[in-house]
Amino acid sequence: MKKKVTAESLIADLAAGAIVPLPEESWRELAPHFKLVSDTPTGLGGVILLMRRPLPTGRKQGWALVEDSQPGEKVVRPLASEKEARALIADRLAAYERMWDG
C-alpha cells in the first residue's frame, strides 16, 4: 500500500529533485501549500500550472510545474528558476502545437 503524500513529504521530495505523480484529489488537498503564479491551457493536455513551492528550510520559495499526466493524475515537477519553468511551458506548448499539425 502506498503511503499518503503529505505536504511535508511532497516539499521534501521536490527539494530532492523528484518528480512526484499524485492522484488529482491528493493535489487538491496539497495545492494550498503552493502559490499559483499562472495557468496555461494547452488545448490538448489540460492546464499547466506554474507554482511557487515552499522549501523545507523556509528559504525563498522554489518553482514547480503541475501537469496532467493522465486522467485523474497530476505530476509535480520541481524547477530551479522561473526562466527554466517558462522555457518548459514553451516547450510543452510547442509540442502540443505540433500534435495539431499532424
Query: What is the band of 2 on the pLDDT scale with cuts at 50, 70, 90?
Result: low
In a domain? residue 86:
yes
pTM, two decimals, is: 0.86
pLDDT at 102 over 70: no
- From residue 72, alpha-carbon distances to 46, 50, 90, 94 in Å are 11, 19, 24, 24
Q: Which domain holds residue 11?
A: 7-101
Overall domain count for the chain: 1
pLDDT at 1 over 50: no
* Residues 24-38: b if buried by 16+ CB within 10 A, e if exposed: eebbeebbeebeeee
Q: Using one digit for the tens of pLDDT, what is the confidence trace for 18-64?
A: 999 999 999 999 999 999 999 998 877 789 999 999 888 767 789 99
In a domain? residue 47:
yes
In a domain? residue 29:
yes
Locate 29 and state its grid cell: 488537498
